[in-house]
Structure 1
């Protein structure tokens, strides 16, 4: 397997791998990563779909990419997926999956046209004082010290950031800035999370630094992620003859270790009715396992019932623990799943049932929620919320089954153990109705109207997720296994807890990238895996990000004016000077102006 970039590799069709007709593939989990890997095996590896079986604990595919309507509860989305232009593996996947909405178009075509016609951006990113615009003016508010801390993290090696917390490499000057507010609420970072992941995110999204304040960096699907992404891929795989076995909980994978060669030899499972089973694997039977899970043991409450924290047996994590016990090369799951208090947060899906609440949404979003177009343009964060509550309204309808007068809203809080501002209870103890009350308070609904409006104007389903940020826990090399461990004959690990150093986690792209790497290595597919977009190595993006981090302020060169003038004159006549001027780091004709001021001072 190798990495590549450019159209030459992007449009090449690989030759059929030798021996692929003799191979079969067994997948543990029907999430995005495994489904993507199956697509790559069929499309690029020419494996027949009827030789692929996908085992899934749940009754439907998609994993964390969800969206469902529960009878008597309402619509539920546990989380949303923010996407951008340069998710190279993701778009490589969906260019080949037919749209269910648009005739003679792929999912990528549909997504591309939608976001061209209706580009995403926010008109109000932060509120305070019960729904008032916080007027952050798209500024980061980073002091010189905070800017230097960001640069230090970017320049540090990966090893220097291992096993460190964010609050160990950044001071309060950074953590009190608008930049950190935008960043943490967009990506769900806590101060105790991994400094290494923070570094990787800064590198990965260097080209989108300027889009943080108004979320113009982001793109979204037409509907929830299940209907827009999972269903088209599921239908395509079924059409190719792929077998899905739902309500199959895989309990263990057996391996044979001999002379530096490791082969998966058996998959054991339990079905929904309690029957034990499994399949024996030979060297041509491929085993691909999604390890860990951010949505494992999620619990749904309802309008009158809080969601609970389920800290008991967790099948996905228990499976990885059993696998990891067999070899040091299979990772250390306890690093990620061992402290639920640091990996949990709660989301809630609010469905409005008439036009009263949407009027308050429109006041903040400055867009009509019923227009069918972008509404909030991403999350709105209530800066003074004790829960650090954020909420978003995507294009409506967000579910095809919505009624015309319904709006689906996604709400989440990072501080679930802190009492609220209107509801004097921690979010994790609140019913759907109480979470709605707290949200309405920060939406600006008059206090005396909140209880009645929360009871009759909406229904809410809270969801507690004990492991939702498990992959952000401080880690070191070896805590995550390689996608294809050294010596593997027939198996690979896929998903957010498999290690590919080329990308950062908590993205759809990461799951698909691990899937592509697994398929290409196990089948010997002779085509490059798309390289991560190289904005962190492009001087233009670096200069643009530098300007943006300084809120547009030019660099103040030290020293006397006559020396500044001579230095800037030199820059004026160079390509570097053109770049620095174009990106606002030095004013246009700054050298001439500085020299004239120096001459005036001398006279």
Structure 2
């Protein structure tokens, strides 16, 4: 397997790998990663679909990419995935999956046209004082010390960031900035989370620094991601003859491990009815396993019942523990699943039933939520919320089954153990109705109207997720196993807890990237895996990010004014100076022709 960039590899169709007709593939889990790997096996590995079997504990595919309507509770989405232009493996996947809505189009075509016609951006990213625009003016408010913190982390080695918390490498100045508020609520980082993951995120998304304050860097699907992404994949795989075995909980995987060689030899499972089964594996029977789970043991409450925090047996984590006990090369799951208080938070899906609540949404979003177009443009954060409450309204309807007078809202809070500002109870103890009350309070609904409006104007489902940010807990090399461990002849690990150093976790891209890497290695597919977008090595993005982090303030050149002038004069006659002035790092001279010279040089 190798990495590549550019159109030459992107548009190439690989030859059929030798021996693929003799192989079968067994997948543990029907989430995005495994479904993507199955598609890559069929498309790029030219394996027949009827030789692929996907085992899934749940009744339906999709994993964390969920979206469902329960007859009595209402609509439920545990979370949403933010997407951007440079998810190279994700878009490589969806260019080949047919749209279910647009004849002759792929899912990528459909997504591309949608976001071209209706680009995403927020008109109000942060509120305070009960629904008032906080007027952050897109400023990061990073002091010189806070800016130095960022530079220091970016320049540090991975080893220097291992097993460290964010609040151990960033100062109070940084943690009190608007930048941190935008960042933590967009990505769900806590101060006790991994400094290494923070570093990787800074590198990965440096080209989107300017889009943080208004979320213009993001793109979203038309509907919830189950209907927009999972169902097209599922239908395509069924059409190819792939077998899905739902309600099959994999309880263990056996391995034959010797010096320099590791082979998966058996998958054991139990069905929902208690029937014990399994399959023996030869070297030609491939085994791809999604290890760990951010949504494991999630619990749904309802409008009158709190969600339960489940701390008992967790099948996905228990399976990884059994696997890890067989070899030190298979990772250390306890690092990620052993501290639920630091990996949990709670979300809620609010469905409004008339136009009373939507008028408050419209006031903040400054857009009609019933328009069918972008509404909030991403999350809106109530900065002064005790729960650090954020909420979003995507394009409506968010579910095809919605009624015309319904709006589906996603709400989440990072501080689930802190009493609320209106409800005076911790988020994790609240019913859907109480969460709605707290949200309405921060929308600016008159206090005397909140109880009745929460009771009759919406139906809300709270969702507690014990492991939702487990992959953000401080870690070191070896805690996550390699996608294809050294010596493996027929198995791979896929998903957020498998290690590929080329990307950062908690993205759809990461799951698909591990899937592509696993498939190409196990089948010997002779095609490059798309390299991660290299903005962290692009001087233009670095300069633009530097200027943006300074809120547009140019760098002060030290020394007397006449010396500064001489330096700027020197720079002014060079291409480097043109770059620095073009991206706002140093002040542009009134008589400079830097931009024209830069354009001429490029031409």
TM-score above 0.5: yes
Q: Establish whether residue 484 from structure 1 lines up as the match of residue 487 from structure 2.
A: no
Runs of 5+ unmatched residues, structure 1:
593-603
Q: Matches of 1:57 and 1:33 in 2, distance apart? A: 15
**Residue pair 1:572, 1:591 contacting (<8 A) in 2 also:** no
Match of 1:30 in 2: 30
RMSD of aligned alpha carbons: 0.9
Match of 1:215 in 2: 215
Q: Establish whether residue 513 from structure 1 lines up as the match of residue 509 from structure 2.
A: no
Q: Matches of 2:492 and 2:587 in 1, distance apart? A: 53
Describe the superposition over 1:219-263 as per-residue Cα deviations: whole angstroms up to 9, x where unpaired: 000000000000000000000000000000000000001231100
**Residue pair 1:121, 1:378 contacting (<8 A) in 2 also:** yes
Q: Matches of 2:398 and 2:465 in 1, distance apart? A: 22
Q: Matches of 2:590 and 2:211 in 1, distance apart? A: 28
Match of 1:240 in 2: 240
Match of 2:62 in 1: 62
Alignment of 1:348-363 (within 5 A): 348-363=348-363
**Residue pair 1:28, 1:250 contacting (<8 A) in 2 also:** yes
Match of 1:84 in 2: 84
Describe the superposition over 1:282-305 as per-residue Cα deviations: whole angstroms up to 9, x where unpaired: 000000000000000000000000
Structure 1 residue 591 displacement after superposition: 9.6
Q: Establish whether residue 99 from structure 1 lines up as the match of residue 99 from structure 2.
A: yes
Q: Matches of 1:89 and 1:572 in 2, distance apart? A: 41
Structure 1 residue 590 displacement after superposition: 7.0
Describe the superposition over 1:521-577 as per-residue Cα deviations: whole angstroms up to 9, x where unpaired: 000000000000000000000000001000000111111112111111110000110
Match of 1:601 in 2: none
Q: Matches of 1:317 and 1:574 in 2, distance apart? A: 57
Q: Establish whether residue 50 from structure 1 lines up as the match of residue 50 from structure 2.
A: yes
Match of 1:290 in 2: 290
Alignment of 1:253-402 (within 5 A): 253-402=253-402
Match of 2:558 in 1: 558
Q: Matches of 1:591 and 1:402 in 2, distance apart? A: 59
Q: Give the secondary structure class of the aligned counterpart of 1:277.
A: strand
Match of 2:228 in 1: 228
Describe the superposition over 1:343-400 as per-residue Cα deviations: whole angstroms up to 9, x where unpaired: 0000000000000000000000000000000000000000000000000000000000
Q: Give the secondary structure class of the aligned counterpart of 1:151.
A: helix
**Residue pair 1:370, 1:396 contacting (<8 A) in 2 also:** yes
**Residue pair 1:564, 1:591 contacting (<8 A) in 2 also:** no
Q: Matches of 1:140 and 1:199 in 2, distance apart? A: 18
Q: Give the secondary structure class of the aligned counterpart of 2:207.
A: helix
Match of 1:584 in 2: 584
Q: Matches of 2:274 and 2:311 in 1, distance apart? A: 22
Match of 1:129 in 2: 129
Q: Matches of 2:575 and 2:316 in 1, distance apart? A: 54
Stretches of 4+ moved more than 4 A in 1?
A: none
Q: Establish whether residue 15 from structure 1 lines up as the match of residue 15 from structure 2.
A: yes
Q: Matches of 2:204 and 2:390 in 1, distance apart? A: 24
Match of 1:163 in 2: 163
Q: Establish whether residue 409 from structure 1 lines up as the match of residue 429 from structure 2.
A: no
Match of 2:473 in 1: 473
Q: Matches of 2:506 and 2:191 in 1, distance apart? A: 17
Describe the superposition over 1:494-535 as per-residue Cα deviations: whole angstroms up to 9, x where unpaired: 000000000000000000000000000000000000000000
Describe the superposition over 1:267-317 as per-residue Cα deviations: whole angstroms up to 9, x where unpaired: 000000001110000000000000000000000000000001000000000
Q: Matches of 1:244 and 1:416 in 2, distance apart? A: 36
Equivalent pairs, count: 593
Q: Matches of 2:260 and 2:88 in 1, distance apart? A: 34
Match of 2:252 in 1: 252
**Residue pair 1:567, 1:591 contacting (<8 A) in 2 also:** no
Structure 1 residue 579 displacement after superposition: 0.5
Q: Give the secondary structure class of the aligned counterpart of 2:514.
A: helix
Alignment of 1:409-428 (within 5 A): 409-428=409-428
Q: Matches of 2:257 and 2:581 in 1, distance apart? A: 60
**Residue pair 1:223, 1:400 contacting (<8 A) in 2 also:** yes
Q: Give the secondary structure class of the aligned counterpart of 1:119.
A: coil
Q: Matches of 2:590 and 2:162 in 1, distance apart? A: 42
Structure 1 residue 87 displacement after superposition: 0.1
Structure 1 residue 2 displacement after superposition: 0.0
Match of 1:153 in 2: 153
Match of 1:40 in 2: 40
Q: Matches of 2:449 and 2:192 in 1, distance apart? A: 38
Describe the superposition over 1:137-195 as per-residue Cα deviations: whole angstroms up to 9, x where unpaired: 00000000000000000000000000000000001100000000000000000000000
Q: Matches of 1:187 and 1:200 in 2, distance apart? A: 13
Match of 2:74 in 1: 74
Structure 1 residue 587 displacement after superposition: 1.6
**Residue pair 1:571, 1:577 contacting (<8 A) in 2 also:** yes
Q: Matches of 1:138 and 1:308 in 2, distance apart? A: 38
Q: Matches of 2:171 and 2:546 in 1, distance apart? A: 20
Q: Matches of 2:586 and 2:477 in 1, distance apart? A: 41
Match of 1:432 in 2: 432
Runs of 5+ unmatched residues, structure 2:
593-603
